[in-house]
Chains A and B, each alone.
Chain A
Amino acid sequence: AQSVAQPEDQVNVAEGNPLTVKCTYSVSGNPYLFWYVQYPNRGLQFLLKYITGDNLVKGSYGFEAEFNKSQTSFHLKKPSALVSDSALYFCAVRDMNSGAGSYQLTFGKGTKLSVIP
Chain B
Amino acid sequence: KAGVTQTPRYLIKTRGQQVTLSCSPISGHRSVSWYQQTPGQGLQFLFEYFSETQRNKGNFPGRFSGRQFSNSRSEMNVSTLELGDSALYLCASSGEVGSYNEQFFGPGTRLTVL
Binding site for B on A (CB under 8 A): 32, 34, 36, 41-46, 49, 51, 90, 99-110
Contact = CB atoms under 8 A, between A and B. Distances in A.
A61 B45 CA distance: 27
Interface of B: 4, 31, 33, 35, 42-43, 45, 48, 50, 55-56, 58, 90, 92, 94, 97-98, 100-108, 110
Chain B interface, DSSP helix/strand/loop, else mixed: strand
A101 B55 contact: yes
B79 to A, nearest CB: 23
Contacts of B4: 43
Given A102-B56, A106-B45, 11 more contacts: A41-B110, A43-B106, A90-B43, A99-B55, A99-B56, A103-B33, A103-B48, A103-B97, A103-B103, A104-B56, A110-B42
Contacts of A101: 50, 55, 97-98
Nearest to A45: B105
Contact of A43 (B48, B97, B105): B105
B90 A44 contact: yes
Nearest to A103: B94
10 contacts: A34-B102, A45-B105, A46-B104, A51-B100, A101-B50, A102-B56, A103-B48, A103-B94, A105-B103, A107-B42
